[in-house]
A and B are shown apart, each in its own frame.
Chain A
Amino acid sequence: MKEFMLFIREDINRMNNLSEAEFQSEIEEYVAWVDELSKTGHYVSGDPLQPEGRYILKDSVSSDGPFIESKEAISGYILIKAMDLDQGMELARKCPVFKYGGVIELRPVLKMQ
């Protein structure tokens, strides 16, 4: 099995404007997805990211970063184990983010032997 990093990208502004009930129902979906991944032994770790952050350039720091305005900012990451890229994609497709207009960037982890 190889490791793959899933970067979850979505509209962070939408996330910030959810009602408590909407937020709860979305995180329940995430938890169910992670549950399934861990039941089948594919889950390694993962976390959501806070919306605030810093965007650092060579000579300057922007406090919010352009990711707040971006429709596809990284909102979380999940590390999984899969046989190959195809299986990784198959597992990623079940992520709830697609229901809410987000996307996933799937990247194999490069392990130095």
Chain B
Amino acid sequence: MTDHQQHLELELEKLFREHYGKLVTSLISYFGLKEIATAEDIVQETFLAAAESWERVLPDKPSAWLYRVCKNKTINYLKKQANHHVRSRSIYESPTHFEQQIDHLLLDHELKESKLRVMFALCHPIISERTQVMLILKIIGGFSVDQIRIVFGLEKEAVKKILSRGKRKIRDHGITLHTPFLFQLKSRLRSVQRALYIIFNEGYRASTGDSVINKSFCKEAIFLTDMLIREGGTDPSNNALMALMLFNIARFDARIAETGEIIDLEHQNRQLWDQEVIGWAIEQLRMARKGRVLTSYHLEAGISSLHCLASSFQETQWCLIVAYYNTLQRLNPSAFVQLNRCIALSYCASPEAAIAEMNRLDLEHLLKGYYLFYVTMGKLLIRMGEPERAEEYLQQGVLLSNLEQEKNYIQKLIETMKDHS
């Protein structure tokens, strides 16, 4: 691959991340929910056209190029439609009117509101909560089918089928974007929050891909949560979700060394944590406490706050974190929660206690093939002074991880362990 190709690929990925959701949302705002697929197709074609035309050289303003081409493709589509339906002839009479409308829909504030509107409209009770979340990830988050597949542990074909069935149902049901009280509907809030939480996490998982791209996932989720807080009526769980995101993003840059290596919580330079953002997070958590309903976001934000406020890894209130995880496990049972609880338990009690608990819960079986189970076991065994057994687990972790940076991180653990023994 030439330098230009590499540069182009990265640039396209960045642009896709930043503009796919915006373009699709503005087209959906124009067409209505009956033409989600059309909106997606037009934007997809726009990016394909970019990949082709930019093969030699990138335009001066790539995003302006995308918007222009997308608009033209939409006008062409409308003209084609107009040839079939006499009613939409107006596109010939006033193409500039259409352009103005699209330009207006692309204004920053309009877009944020449109995104929120599309999210709530997609969470219609005729489709399941899982489908609602998947559609938001695809349409607003710009997730690929592959990314969605991983989040939900499904086959690619299954995800495609669920998405297209969902879109069809929404189209056939004639659901409007402009329902009164839309943002106040608490029954739809859960899916919206869940999708934002997943979008944030997709960006936060330290190890994958370009960190600028990842951070843009996180920022997008934060902007939309902020919009939710301002437009969606008061629901303290929104503040909890926001607190959780802010506590984590405050530590975003400290997790990766300049060399690209992963730095785990224990070895992060706490001076690099953004104290201003932590301050905002505390404020949000304070507002979240006004709620009468305890959500998993409250608990996860609480756990993050204990990490952020600890002066060092050793002085973290590990036993309190275990208690939070216990409640979280009751509220939202999962083997991943259990694994994290066991890690906290190893510092609150002992590594031995943690391993006993992991065995009792049969986490190895429940987390079938998840590399972090093996890394955790390895790290616990190092602390227990059992390097041989530790290495077995860590090697297993290397095999199961499918990301270079994670593999390197584990390799380094093994080397450091050997240096010390």
Taking beta carbons and an 8 Å cutoff, which residues of A are in contact with B?
Answer: 23-24, 27-28, 30-31, 34-35, 38-41, 43, 45-48, 76, 78
Contact = CB atoms under 8 A, between A and B. Distances in A.
B176 A38 contact: yes
Interface in B175-192: 175-176, 178-182, 184-187
Contacts of B173: 35, 39
B181 A27 contact: yes
Contacts of B174: 38-41
Given A24-B187, A39-B173, A46 B178 contact: yes
A81 to B, nearest CB: 13
Contact of B180 (A23, A40, A41, A47): A47
Contacts of A31: 179-182, 185
**Most A Cβ at <10 Å: residue of B173, B174, B175, B185:** B174
Contact of B176 (A24, A34, A76): A34
Given A24-B187, A28-B187, A48 B181 contact: yes
Q: Is the interface of B mostly helix, strand, loop or mixed?
A: loop
Contacts of B180: 27, 30-31, 34, 46-48, 76, 78
B305 to A, nearest CB: 27
Contacts of B181: 27, 30-31, 48
A34 B180 CA distance: 8
B179 to A, nearest CB: 5
* Complex A-B, nearest 4 residue pairs according to Cβ-Cβ distance, in ascending order: A38-B176, A27-B181, A39-B174, A48-B180
A45 B178 CA distance: 7
Interface of B: 124, 173-176, 178-182, 184-187
B178 A35 contact: no
A67 B182 CA distance: 25
Contacts of A27: 180-181, 184-185
Given A30-B180, A48-B180, A76-B180, A38 B186 contact: no
Contacts of B182: 31
Contacts of A43: 176
A34 B185 contact: no
**Most A Cβ at <10 Å: residue of B179, B185, B187:** B179
A92 B179 CA distance: 16
A34 B186 contact: no
Contact of B185 (A28, A46, A78): A28
Contacts of A41: 174
A45 B32 CA distance: 13
A10 to B, nearest CB: 14
Given A46-B180, A48-B181, A35 B175 contact: yes
7 contacts: A24-B187, A28-B187, A31-B181, A34-B179, A35-B124, A38-B174, A43-B176
Nearest to A32: B125
A38 B174 CA distance: 6
A47 B174 CA distance: 19
Contacts of A78: 180
